[in-house]
Chain A
Amino acid sequence: DAKTTQPTSMDCAEGRAANLPCNHSTISGNEYVYWYRQIHSQGPQYIIHGLKNNETNEMASLIITEDRKSSTLILPHATLRDTAVYYCMTPFGNEKLTFGTGTRLTIIP
């Protein structure tokens, strides 16, 4: 799978939109972009995934650039419960998920 790069940590004010970037400049045409998060002491939680088009679900929005070399996960109205480590991954086909170090997002009251 393509290597992904994420900032180590980010802060966001409660109620504001949290924008988490991910670079995947070597992504291939068939590799999806997946986002998970892990709240302290819990198992990772699937958030969203996409291939080319922007995606939105009840948790977040995923914006993928036209060249697919980067993406942004958007939490539209961050709450304290969104404090977690967020992982961006680009598995190919049945290739296993590889969790890196992710971005530690802290929501500030």
Chain B
Amino acid sequence: DAGVIQSPRHEVTEMGQEVTLRCKPISGHDYLFWYRQTMMRGLELLIYFNNNVPIDDSGMPEDRFSAKMPNASFSTLKIQPSEPRDSAVYFCASSLAGWGAHEQFFGPGTRLTVL
């Protein structure tokens, strides 16, 4: 398996533009997580899905952020409109189901810069 795949790896955009980050989880994994990492706030969980259904989106900073998982092999995180404070590395992770299972496999991340 290729592991968790994220695209693009780097994104530079201007304030006000729409940004879409993409993730392909490991095949067979029932959970998908979106994290954001900044120097100031560290690694934060934004939202996670179980069997394509959003379970907890309490970490999504505001309405400008939205995430979807239309099928088991694809998820998107969208920021519209983007702001400079959204600049961060965004990680996607996936894991197998199971109560108490926390072995997550992370992708390489997308480094987002909003000018």
A interface, CB within 8 angstroms of B: 30, 32, 34, 38, 41-46, 49, 89, 91-94, 96-101
Cβ of B102 under 8 Å from chain A = yes
In contact, B99 and A93 (Cβ under 8 angstroms): yes
30 A-B residue pairings within 8 Å (CB atoms): A32-B100, A32-B102, A34-B102, A38-B43, A41-B109, A42-B108, A43-B4, A43-B108, A43-B109, A44-B43, A44-B104, A44-B106, A45-B106, A46-B104, A49-B102, A89-B102, A91-B102, A92-B100, A93-B99, A94-B99, A94-B100, A96-B45, A96-B48, A96-B56, A97-B45, A97-B104, A98-B45, A99-B42, A99-B43, A101-B42
Scoring B91, B106, B107 by chain A CB atoms within 10 A of each residue's CB, the highest score goes to: B106
Main secondary structure of the interface of A (DSSP, over half): loop
A97: B residues at CB distance < 8 A: 45, 102, 104
Known: A91-B100, A91-B102. 20 other contacts (CB 8 A): A32-B100, A42-B106, A43-B91, A43-B106, A43-B107, A43-B108, A44-B91, A44-B93, A44-B104, A44-B106, A46-B104, A46-B105, A49-B103, A92-B100, A93-B100, A96-B45, A96-B48, A97-B45, A99-B42, A101-B42
Range, interface on chain B = 10 to 19
A46: B residues at CB distance < 8 A: 103-105
CB-based nearest B residue for A30: B100
Min distance, Cβ B32 to any Cβ of chain A, angstroms: 13
A100: B residues at CB distance < 8 A: 42
Min distance, Cβ B48 to any Cβ of chain A, angstroms: 7
